[in-house]
Structure 1
């Protein structure tokens, strides 16, 4: 069985995660992860950014809607790319009534740099370096260098145009749920997108 790229990236730190987070991120082709939950709050940035978010809807990357208590589903599936590289596909769906909004990504591992390579959107429109770390039993994800993806062309973005994400995920034993917080910030604008909430696995571990 292939070891999850997340597990490979974290190395020995993987064992410091809460046991339920270890199970959640030990993703393989034989063991996808699927969950259902509610985002207590989904927030956006300045209204003048909304046209860009409408544009992102077509790429399953960001969306203009925001609100509270939004139903949410997530599915992580391991696969192999054209060159045989190990990948994890992220399908995140936010249900705004009849509308389904996506925030999808495809991740692989750069073993030399020990960086998760994150292609956002379908087809990909953005690229970001990701660093995974364990903090007090929880998982933290930080994004760094970003590029605009235009087919086969990838254009490095200056910091003033980047939207850097900070993701924290923990397991709440009392409630028996995974808790997540995502904040995407631009150094000039401030927060441009974010959500926080909880979910439970559709599988019984």
Structure 2
């Protein structure tokens, strides 16, 4: 980018980078975040910051790029603040079934063994699975986290140990994971909205 600007090709280079931004973020989200901040690309910075939620805050703390030497530390601080606040948002949401599962998901998880067949009688595995999902999400507060193989294996094992014979599985688990992921996205979107001001300057609110 700097070389391109030197030879008066900055706008074209910026366009090419933005065109392939999704691929760049997937390959190097930390480098993408720093690049976006250095050029005042607010939307791209937000996207890269969200991608970094798939890792732990400790992984961000040990990340390094030569471009950090020429940048204000406020961009780095904002990234850490964003990650921490997303984890806090998930923790603060609690573990209530109605918080994490939408109506469609709860319908898929009603306990057929219950005498009272209503929306309050979700299968017995649901509550402990939500609690475990929240624990899994806290260090890596991303919708992707709940869909990863390790998280899925942990949750499936827990569900298998606690479900009754009438529980719908694995279709109910797929719905469970999708509903949890949607809620995580809602929570981090709310943090993203409060953390970043519109325009080219990114603002952290205390």
TM-score (normalizing by structure 1): 0.30
Larger Rg: 2
TM-score (normalizing by structure 2): 0.30
More strand as a share of residues: 1
